[in-house]
């Protein structure tokens, strides 16, 4: 099969692992910088151009779209979809996962546990927002932050009000969430492939930082998920339309697992290196099974 990995970082660990595994399994693989793609939109002619040439049709694409390029990257993914190409993550699902409020609304509607969350922008009813979120301490985050950036722990009502006032003045959408003390500085990342959890790690902060993200200096260790955590990860992935592949971030609370985020371009590096699980091969195998069926149908109909 012809497979394209849409990535602006060709030397990135995840990109390289997927490329190497796919090549070893006999596939023709290209790494394409999606920001250098451009499309021609015309009736019945969904063309994608790259470096002055029309891209040949691919059987499958693996989108590795960065947060900062979500809108443009998903437009390119959508053009591949219009060509009938199998995609690991749909353009709709990627967009849905990048909008934190929308993601929480989808998860909550699907019966997935999430932290108590309040969404606001220009309200001056700060006391009411604090009360709705369960009181201080609480977490305040920019609605579109990533890698743990744009996230603040407010210990007191005065501190929470000051942070919200700053966002209010700047006209920034923000989320206010309950602080789960028993999981401070600790969370779980579960990688889901084909509707199954294939690797899981626990991430811990190295200092007093309440954020556990490895991009903020946290470390990961292998962890055995409970049945409830495993079911929650799969349910969250399916609810977001990302059951083919995603990373589900959860924290343990007194009320069970709470989902923090579903990442459509989750890194393979830390989970693979820490657990020894070959996640890349599992994803390529899934593509072979599902995109391969479509490829055979297209050949028969040709």
Give the residue from 65, 142, 116, 140 showing the smallest Cα distance to 259.
116
Are 165 and 125 in contact by the 8 Å Cβ rule? The answer is no
Q: Where in the chain is the domain with CATH 3.40.50.20?
A: 2-95
This prediction's pTM:
0.88
Owner of token pair 């966002």: 167
Which pLDDT value is given to residue 170? 84
| Per-residue confidence in pLDDT tens, the chain, 302 aa | 999 999 999 999 999 999 999 999 999 999 999 999 999 998 888 999 999 999 989 999 999 999 999 999 999 999 999 999 999 999 999 999 999 899 999 999 999 999 999 999 877 789 999 999 999 999 998 876 555 567 899 999 999 999 998 888 888 889 999 998 877 789 999 999 999 999 999 998 766 555 555 455 467 899 999 999 999 999 999 999 999 999 999 999 998 999 999 999 999 999 999 999 999 999 999 999 999 665 555 443 33
Structure tokens at 297: 């149908």
Are 108 and 83 in contact by the 8 Å Cβ rule? The answer is no
Q: Where in the chain is the domain with CATH 3.30.1490.20?
A: 117-179
Which pLDDT value is given to residue 150? 74
117-179 is classed in which CATH architecture?
Answer: 2-Layer Sandwich (3.30)
Structure tokens at 82: 């219009």
- For the chain, the 3-state helix, strand and coil shares in percent, each to the nearest 5, are 40, 25, 35
Ramachandran bin of 33, using left for φ above 0, alpha for ψ from -120 to 50, beta for the remaining angles:
beta
CATH topology of domain 182-281: D-amino Acid Aminotransferase; Chain A, domain 1 (3.30.470)
Q: Is residue 259 helix, strand or coil?
A: strand
Are 191 and 268 in contact by the 8 Å Cβ rule? The answer is yes
**Strand segments (E) across 19-116:** 28-32, 37-40, 47-50, 53-54, 60-63, 86-87
Q: Is residue 301 helix, strand or coil?
A: helix
User: Any residues with CB less than 8 A from the CB of 259 and at least 6 apart, and which?
Assistant: 107, 112, 113, 114, 232, 233, 236, 248, 249, 250
Give the residue from 149, 98, 91 showing the smallest Cα distance to 263.
98
Q: Could you tell me which CATH number the domain at 2-95 has? A: 3.40.50.20
Structure tokens at 26: 């006999």
Give the residue from 198, 165, 203, 200 showing the smallest Cα distance to 185.
203
Q: Where in the chain is the domain with CATH 3.30.470.20?
A: 182-281
Which pLDDT value is given to residue 191? 98
Which pLDDT value is given to residue 300? 37
């Amino acid at each position: 099969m012809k497979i394209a990995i849409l990535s602006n970082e060709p030397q990135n660990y995840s990109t390289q692992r997927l490329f190497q595994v796919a090549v070893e399994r006999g596939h023709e693989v290209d790494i394409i910088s999606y920001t250098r793609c451009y499309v021609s939109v015309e009736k019945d002619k969904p063309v994608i151009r790259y470096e002055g040439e029309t891209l040949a049709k691919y059987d499958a694409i693996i989108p590795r779209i960065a947060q900062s390029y979500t809108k443009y990257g998903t437009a390119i993914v959508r053009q591949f979809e219009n060509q009938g190409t199998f995609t690991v993550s749909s353009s709709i699902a990627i967009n849905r996962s990048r909008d934190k409020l929308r993601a929480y609304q989808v998860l909550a509607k699907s019966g997935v546990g999430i932290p108590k969350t309040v969404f606001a922008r220009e309200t001056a009813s700060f006391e009411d927002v604090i009360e709705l979120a369960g009181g201080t301490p609480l977490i305040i985050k920019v609605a579109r932050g990533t890698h743990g950036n744009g996230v603040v722990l407010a210990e007191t009502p005065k501190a929470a009000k000051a942070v919200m006032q700053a966002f209010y003045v700047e006209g920034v959408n923000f989320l206010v969430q309950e602080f789960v003390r028993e999981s401070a500085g600790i969370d779980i990342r579960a990688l889901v492939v084909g509707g199954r959890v294939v690797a899981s790690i626990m991430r811990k902060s190295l200092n007093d930082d309440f954020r556990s993200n490895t991009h903020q200096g946290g470390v990961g260790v292998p962890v055995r998920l409970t049945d409830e955590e495993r079911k929650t990860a799969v349910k969250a992935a399916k609810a977001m339309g990302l059951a083919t592949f995603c990373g589900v971030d959860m924290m343990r609370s007194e009320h069970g697992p709470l989902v923090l985020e579903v990442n459509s371009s989750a890194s393979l590096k830390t989970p693979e290196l820490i657990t020894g699980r070959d996640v890349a091969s599992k994803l390529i195998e899934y593509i072979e099974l599902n995109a391969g069926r479509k490829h055979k149908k297209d050949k028969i109909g040709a």
